[in-house]
Structure 1
Amino acid sequence: MPEHLSLEQTDLVYALVLLRNKISELVVRATTEGPTNCPWADLAALLDTAATLCRREAILEP
């Protein structure tokens, strides 16, 4: 039986899902509107945040 996630882990998963959705939106925008119209700084910031959260998740997992 899978273990239940703690509130902190649930918040982390929720944040990662929101980041994934936003990154997908920006990638679609870059491919449909062209790379010059993509907010690359926003995308880089989101990817950095996602990496930070993933590192945090790795620390949460024993």
Structure 2
Amino acid sequence: MQLLPGLQRREIARFRRRNDADAYVRVLRQRASGVQYVVVFDPVLDPSALVIQQPSTSI
């Protein structure tokens, strides 16, 4: 993400691996040294950790 004035952010790219994202940020920083970039990850939920509630079947 590119950090913008006024606490705003702009998504630049998405990657599956952190090392790919870090390498891309290094290239961006070399091209535009005055711009701030940060690597951000979306949380991935573990499907086995999800609790699915079944509707009650009591009559």
TM-score (norm 2): 0.34
- The structure whose residues are more often strand, as a share, is 2
- The structure whose residues are more often helix, as a share, is 1
Q: Which has the higher contact order (CA 8 A, sep 6+)?
A: 1
